[in-house]
Structure formats: C-alpha cells, structure tokens
Amino acid sequence: MTGSLDIFLFLSIGLFSLGALGVLMRRNALLVLMAIELMLNAVNLAFVSFARSWASADPGNADAAQVFVLMIMGVAAAEAAIGIAIVVSIFRARASVSVDEPGELHG
C-alpha cells in the first residue's frame, strides 16, 4: 500500500463540516442527532488516519490512537441513547420533534 493519507483527512473535514451544517440547519431533533454522529465519525476517521501515518514510526502510540477511537464510539453510543430518550420525552410532551419549539427556559 502506497500513497498519501490526505484524502482521508479531506473526507474527515468534509464529514465534520456537513455534520456541523446539519446541526445548524435541520429542525428535526433526530436529524440533528444524525448530524452529530457524522461529526463524531469525522473525528474518528482523523484519529485512524493519523494513527496509520504513525504505524511504522511509533506502533505503540498508533495502537493507542485506535483505543481512543473505541472510547469515542462508547461515548457516541451513550450520547445517542440519552439524546434519543430526551427526544422521545419531548415528543411525548408536545407531539413534535422540532428543536425550535421547546423554549420554556428562554429568559
């Protein structure tokens, strides 16, 4: 395998930007959650590609980077569970999943 790792970093940037754009644009809370998953995946991809670029020079730390990706996956799973629970309880209370609608805490 030869070649540059730049394309992976480009993909990572693209996925993160699209995820951020999705969080800003969409009003359906579940789609906002999906966009957050996109951003977490972009970060993971950056971790894995930098780990690959260090795989021959510093194998120990390259493996540690992959452990870090596992940690992020665990946090993402917890985030999805809690996020969906919040969305469902908001949906129960007001029969809508728009992120613009709940505003009782707005001062």
Residues that bind another protein (CB under 8 A): 1-8, 10-11, 13-15, 17-19, 21-22, 24-28, 30-31, 33-35, 37-38, 41, 44-45, 48-53, 55-56, 59, 62-64, 66-67, 69-71, 73-82, 84-89, 91, 96-98
Question: Which CB, 56 or 106, lies closer to another protein?
Answer: 56
What's the closest the beta carbon of residue 106 comes to another protein, in angstroms?
A: 17
CA gap 31, 70 in Å, rounded: 24
Residue 105: strand, helix, or coil: coil
Q: How far is the CB of 107 from another protein (least distance, A)?
A: 22
DSSP letters for 54-75: TTTT-HHHHHHHHHHHHHHHHH
The span from the CA of 51 to the CA of 78, in Å, is 25
**Closest separation in Å from C-beta 83 to another protein:** 9
Task: Give the Cα separation of 93 and 87 in Å (integer).
Answer: 10
**In the bound complex, what is the minimum distance in angstroms from residue 67's beta carbon to another protein?**
5
